[in-house]
Amino acid sequence: VGIAKTGSGKTLAYILPAIVHINNQPPVNYGDGPVVLILVPTRELAQQIQQVAADFGSSTRVRNTCIYGGAPKGPQARDLEQGVEIVIATPGRLIDFLERGQTNLRRCTYLVLDEADRMLDMGFEPQIRKIIGQIRP
């Protein structure tokens, strides 16, 4: 559990170890689910984290995608089907893709709940539990 002020670099505190973790895993192939899942409460936060993940993951060819409501599902589904190492998602949209069989969490071995307190305040606990229930032990 990490608590820090906005702008203090807490995203890097979990992105960099995530990239190291990914680089020690077998490659992600077409149809594989992500190795790293980052759950967030809002689209805006998801987009900010995606930029950090892209900036620091590009040199090691770590791919990521951002999954959130209010955006077309097609490009998000394509990213998931092609295989990405990091998924940054809001709970509702991720559950949509999981229930449709467009991704899975069988390869997920690294989970981040960014702004977990806010997600709980926003009533996301049932969705978070449902998602965590699909991650391998």
| CA–CA dist 111, 131 (Å, integer) | 11
| pTM to 2 decimal places | 0.95
Q: What is the 3-state secondary structure (H, E, C) of the chain?
A: CCCCCCCCCHHHHHHHHHHHHHHCCCCCCCCCCCCEEEECCCHHHHHHHHHHHHHHHHHHCCCEEEECCCCCHHHHHHHHHHCCCEEEECHHHHHHHHHCCCCCCCCCCEEEECCHHHHHHCCCHHHHHHHHCCCCC
Q: Quick check: 36 and 18 in contact, CB under 8 A?
A: yes
pLDDT at 8: 74
Residue 90 Cα to chain centre, angstroms:
8
- Residue by residue, pLDDT tens for the chain (137 residues) are 777 777 778 899 999 999 999 999 999 999 899 999 999 999 999 999 999 999 998 888 999 999 999 999 999 999 999 999 999 999 999 999 999 999 999 999 999 999 999 999 999 999 999 999 999 87
CATH second-level architecture of 10-132? 3-Layer(aba) Sandwich (3.40)
Scan for tokens 């987009």, then name that residue. 47
